[in-house]
Amino acid sequence: QDTISGLVVSGSGPTAVGNHVWLNATLSKGTNVTFHVDLGDGTFQSLKSINSQPAVHFTHLYSTPGRYVWSVYAENLVSLSPMMTRDVSIQQPIGDVLLQ
């Protein structure tokens, strides 16, 4: 089993309440890896990478506007990555606008 290194986290930008946001977590090295993410609203998810590709894709739907901080780390039987964070902004959609 390979040790873990090079965790990179990317994700979608600001979006409106009710729209899905996405988060990708990838490693430059590591096998049999489980990725863990705290989505900042009390939701936690864990995904195991498949086919020895050290990468996963998370999606989430927020019901309340605000700034949320995602915290992500990866682990396997021989190592643990440092935690990475990323902010995401969820905004209230603008309703009907009447311009005169």
Query: Which tokens belong to 11?
Result: 């994700």
Q: Cα separation of 38 and 9, whole Å?
A: 13
AA identity, residue 78:
V
In angstroms, the CA 5 to CA 81 distance is 7
Neighbours of 45 (CB within 10 A): 15
Rounded mean pLDDT of 28-51? 92
Q: Looking at the predicted structure, is the pLDDT value of residue 9 above 60?
A: yes
Interacting residues of 68 by C-beta distance below 8 A, sequence separation 6+: 39, 40, 41, 62, 87, 88, 89, 90
Q: pLDDT tens digit string along 48-80? A: 987 677 899 999 999 999 999 999 999 999 999
pTM: 0.87
